[in-house]
Amino acid sequence: MSKNQKIIVLSVLTISACLLSIFLGITKDNIEYFLPKRLSKIIAIGLCSYCIAYSSISFQTITNNNILTPSVIGLDSLYMFVQTFIVYFFGSKTLSMMTGYTNYFLSILFMLFFSFILFFILFLKENRNLYFLILCGMILGNFFDGISTFMQVILDPNEFLVLQGKMFASFSNINFSLLFISLIIVLILFLITIKDSSKLDVLCLGKDQAINLGISYNKFILKNLMVISILVSVSTALVGPITFLGILVASISREILKTYSHRHRIFCGFLIGFFSLVLGQFLVEKVFNFSTTVGTLINFIGGLYFLYLILKETKN
């Protein structure tokens, strides 16, 4: 099949999964209660799918590495550190009271401030290469993980249960007002980056070739890194961290299409992420009866796939 035919098949599968998820079990008696909740859940899944697909695929192009994803910068670790810090010093009641705008904007603010330090001070000001930036992000991410784990170990078990709800992505209780704000932010970023796909195609040729073809390398890289950080921050603050979904959508879209066209790959990654999350949420609700979360399922499958990619790269 051609790449357009493959995208059409993925689109049909994704739309079918969405319709099944929305209308299964809907009757005249419960439609007013279930339909708005299910629609907001599907919109949130689509929003997170785009954020993860664009950020992961463009990040791999920028770094010229097919295994790295934005999670190596340490934003997920910082998010968990912020949530753990709040519970540790102020108690779980404070975290529960901050489930709306306060926690959302506080999480995004900290993640963007962290990104600002990495990108503008370590990368742009010191004129370092990109791998130095990634290395610093990994070190700081491990630092935040270590402090978070230390605080979680000595937390009261009841308060840890409240914090545990923030450790994994969940689409069961979406705040519609936060979803609307997230949609506006992502739409603005989409309009800003709508013409960047062709530049990302050129970037696949390498830094020197991209510069020779007229791309302002540092400026373009910095712009995309900031966009990636905002997308990851919005997605994580809205539903929680989904660490391994990025590696899944980026690698599978590359294997399916076998093209350098980022316009097609990002859309394909979006469809793969959308379908995976809808299917995962369906399994959580109908098979596991909410005994687990969709983030746990995705991370389990993604972790196994990540090990497969590492073994594959090692053999090559």
What is the CATH classification number for the domain harbouring 170?
Answer: 1.10.3470.10
Q: Give the model's pLDDT for residue 2.
A: 77
Backbone phi, then psi, for 266, in 5-degree steps? -65, -40
Q: What average pLDDT does the segment 172-196 reach? A: 87
pLDDT single digits (tens) 253-269: 888 888 888 889 999 99
CA dihedral 122, 127, 130, 132 (to 10 degrees): -50
Q: Give the model's pLDDT for residue 238.
A: 84
CA 115/CA 100 separation, integer angstroms: 23
Instruction: Assess contact for 6 and 268: CB atoms under 8 A.
Output: yes
CA 113/CA 46 separation, integer angstroms: 26
Contacts with 288 (C-beta within 8 Å, 6 or more apart), sequence order? none
Buried b (16+ CB within 10 A) or exposed e, 166-188: bbbbbbeebbeebbebbbebbee
Q: Give the model's pLDDT for residue 225.
A: 86
Between these two residues, 20 and 95, which has the higher pLDDT value?
A: 20
Give residue 48's pLDDT band: very low, low, confident or very high (50, 70, 90): very high
pTM of the model: 0.89
Give residue 190's pLDDT band: very low, low, confident or very high (50, 70, 90): very high
CA dihedral 53, 42, 285, 24 (to 10 degrees): -130
- Residue 54 pLDDT more than 80? yes
Between these two residues, 156 and 277, which has the higher pLDDT value?
A: 277
Structure tokens at 269: 């990654």
CA 167/CA 180 separation, integer angstroms: 23
- Residue 42 pLDDT more than 80? yes
Percent of the chain with pLDDT over 70: 93
Q: Give the model's pLDDT for residue 15.
A: 92
* CA neighbor of 165 nearest in space, from 92, 231, 234, 78: 92
pLDDT single digits (tens) 127-175: 566 777 778 888 888 888 899 888 888 888 887 877 777 777 777 777 7
Q: By residue range, what is the domain housing residue 173?
A: 3-315
Residue recorded with tokens 């290469």? 129
Q: Give the model's pLDDT for residue 75.
A: 81
* CA neighbor of 277 nearest in space, from 169, 187, 176: 169
Could you please report the per-residue DSSP string of 39-71? HHHHHHHHHHHHHHHHHHHHHHHHHT-SS--GG
Residue recorded with tokens 């914090």? 163
CA dihedral 146, 243, 95, 141 (to 10 degrees): 30
Instruction: Assess contact for 6 and 272: CB atoms under 8 A.
Output: no
What single DSSP character describes residue 70? G
Contacts with 126 (C-beta within 8 Å, 6 or more apart), sequence order? none
Instruction: Assess contact for 186 and 234: CB atoms under 8 A.
Output: yes
Q: What average pLDDT does the segment 205-210 reach? A: 83
Residue type, position 27, single letter: T
Domain count, the chain: 1
Q: Give the model's pLDDT for residue 122.
A: 65
Residue type, position 253, single letter: S
Q: Give the model's pLDDT for residue 218.
A: 80
pLDDT single digits (tens) 64-75: 888 888 887 888
Q: Give the model's pLDDT for residue 124.
A: 63
